[in-house]
A and B are shown apart, each in its own frame.
Chain A
């Protein structure tokens, strides 16, 4: 079953696609969080989540912004999108009662600087937390035992 815009905020000046690079992000853990706030560098974002509970939060501050979210969940889908540009597009497609076995992962964290900002993904068991942050809101620390 499709259910559109179940939980979305749209600040939409003019809703048509902008000409920009597209960043596609996929998650298929049981609990998926995609938290996208790239700052002024605002690529087009596509988030595709399959799991038990899916959450996507997107903040775009570019002149023209495009976000497309596709969520398929056995339990719940949540999307919150806020766009501050003059040309904004947001499409949310949500499907629940989706029969799928979520993946379970070994514990891992990968963080890297990309053209779109700092992209990090934490996978652990049935949990996946993915973030994309711009230079103004990337707050990361690393610590542990000395070797």
Chain B
């Protein structure tokens, strides 16, 4: 982690801790959550104020809730082959830094995917809350371990984390740790860019949902027009490193000078949630400057998203014939230029390409997702999710030798269909199965000459058992 990024993470972490220590002593003991004479009464107060699982935390005036969500799964990935990318700097007589080029090819993953693999996604969390004169004071910590045991190329078995941060499993363990006072929130928290979810399926669709060190402020207005309607506007400064998509050759970030600036606006009714978001992400590249005295160029990457979720009780449309069936549908789209990490897609493109002379070419792309969840009975539901992405990565025209130009234009696009069913065996215990199919196509041209396009597709299946509290 660079110095600026480390400083930013430290400030965010301190902000997550300090308000809890500072405000807890200042709040009067007569705060609503702490009223009552016996501990039983106090617990009842907490349940009434925040929810049935909240209990009194001693004489602190805080109400607390602990929870966990553990999912074990066995999955099979049928991808014997998949598209892989190679970034390379071609030797040039003209530029010491080398001329960037991006290759794509069909890579054999058979050794890793031959056997079904077990995995786990385990989370434990704790929330504490109380009322203050400045508004609700809430602290939340969620620890998460997510990964799978998978075959390696040499026939061994290794643990592959799904939530490592910058390659660190330990850093990824702290999924969320934030403190909120009124509308101000600091710490590791869900990014203000992402929508509520990445589809209703267990396997994530192509949508960005990232927890990141951040400081955010939300202004919320309730009961707009009628009871239950609300609108909010949020701004945040977020850790820029969590979304970097750089390979170190075509794109190599210099130390960050600025956080990501993210904004969000939402409008909700009891059945509808609309979301728009935007982000600015600074690019400072040193891929060419590091070796060859090219200037450290910078520019701003940008991303935007729009999404909506609609919940429906089918009997409202079809009467009693629909029984107790409910459904909900979400649609989201995102577009990015120079900051592909905001699309929530596989690593098929870097955020940008740095030419040998230091010039930056931002990669452009989009992603989209549509997901529907149908509740057949109070315990049985099914999901269907379809998501797509498209990226276009290019370089500038540079000479390999005088009069011998080279440049590239590579496009990768893909889609994914997932269908699942889940049954609640008993309260808080679910069993489910999911199947999906993934399509990906890569095409490109080099110095104006078209290369062959490459298509791959493969199915996946998974069964899981999930227990929540």
Q: How far is the CB of B221 from chain A (nearest CB, A)?
A: 42
Q: Which of the candidate stretches A19-27, A62-70, A91-99, A126-134 sits at the interface with the other chain?
A: A126-134
- Scoring A53, A105, A139 by chain B CB atoms within 10 A of each residue's CB, the highest score goes to A139
- A99-115 CB mask vs B (1 if < 8 Å, else 0) is 00000111111010000
Question: Does A7 sit at the interface, judged by CB under 8 A?
Answer: yes
B105 engages A141 (CB within 8 Å): no
Measured between beta carbons, the chain B residues less than 8 angstroms from A137 are 89, 91, 98
Measured between beta carbons, the chain A residues less than 8 angstroms from B249 are 139-141
Question: Does B402 sit at the interface, judged by CB under 8 A?
Answer: yes
Residues from 195 to 218 in B contacting A, C-beta threshold 8 Å? none
B447 engages A144 (CB within 8 Å): no
A145 engages B104 (CB within 8 Å): no
Which of A31, A78, A142 is in CB contact (< 8 Å) with B86? A142
The contact size tier of chain A is: 35 or more
Question: Does B224 sit at the interface, judged by CB under 8 A?
Answer: no
A108 vs B87: C-alpha distance when bound (angstroms): 14
A131 vs B99: C-alpha distance when bound (angstroms): 12
Which of B79, B401, B446 is in CB contact (< 8 Å) with A127? B446
Which of A9, A30, A144 is in CB contact (< 8 Å) with B107? A144
Number of interface residues of B (CB under 8 A): 50
Given A57-B400, A57-B404, A78-B403, decide whether A127 and B449 contact each other with a Cβ distance below 8 A: yes
Question: Does B83 sit at the interface, judged by CB under 8 A?
Answer: yes
Measured between beta carbons, the chain B residues less than 8 angstroms from A109 are 84, 86, 103-105
B451 engages A146 (CB within 8 Å): no
Which of A80, A107, A126, A144 is in CB contact (< 8 Å) with B401? A80
Measured between beta carbons, the chain A residues less than 8 angstroms from B452 are 104-107, 124-125
- B143-166 CB mask vs A (1 if < 8 Å, else 0) is 000000010000000001000000
Measured between beta carbons, the chain B residues less than 8 angstroms from A141 are 86-88, 247-250
Question: Does B7 sit at the interface, judged by CB under 8 A?
Answer: no
Question: Does B223 sit at the interface, judged by CB under 8 A?
Answer: no
A140 engages B87 (CB within 8 Å): yes
User: Nearest CB to that of B100 among chain A residues?
Assistant: A139
A107 vs B86: C-alpha distance when bound (angstroms): 13
Given A31-B447, A108-B105, A127-B451, decide whether A145 and B160 contact each other with a Cβ distance below 8 A: no
A142 vs B402: C-alpha distance when bound (angstroms): 29
Measured between beta carbons, the chain A residues less than 8 angstroms from B98 are 137, 139
- B226-263 CB mask vs A (1 if < 8 Å, else 0) is 00000000000000000000011110000000000000
Given A31-B449, A144-B82, A147-B109, decide whether A139 and B404 contact each other with a Cβ distance below 8 A: no
Q: How far is the CB of B56 from chain A (nearest CB, A)?
A: 44
Question: Does B425 sit at the interface, judged by CB under 8 A?
Answer: no
Question: Does A5 sit at the interface, judged by CB under 8 A?
Answer: no
Q: Which residues of B contact A (CB under 8 A)?
A: 77, 79, 82-93, 98, 101, 103-107, 109, 112-113, 150, 160, 247-250, 346-348, 350, 400-404, 406, 440, 444, 446-447, 449-454
Q: Which residues of A contact B (CB under 8 A)?
A: 7, 9, 30-31, 33, 35-37, 53, 55, 57, 59, 78, 80, 82, 104-109, 111, 120, 122, 124-127, 129, 131, 133, 137, 139-147
Q: A30-B449, A31-B446 are in contact. List 6 more A-B contacts (CB 8 A).
A: A9-B93, A59-B93, A124-B105, A124-B452, A137-B91, A143-B350
A-B contact list, 9 entries, CB within 8 Å: A33-B406, A59-B93, A78-B404, A107-B106, A107-B452, A127-B446, A131-B91, A133-B91, A145-B83
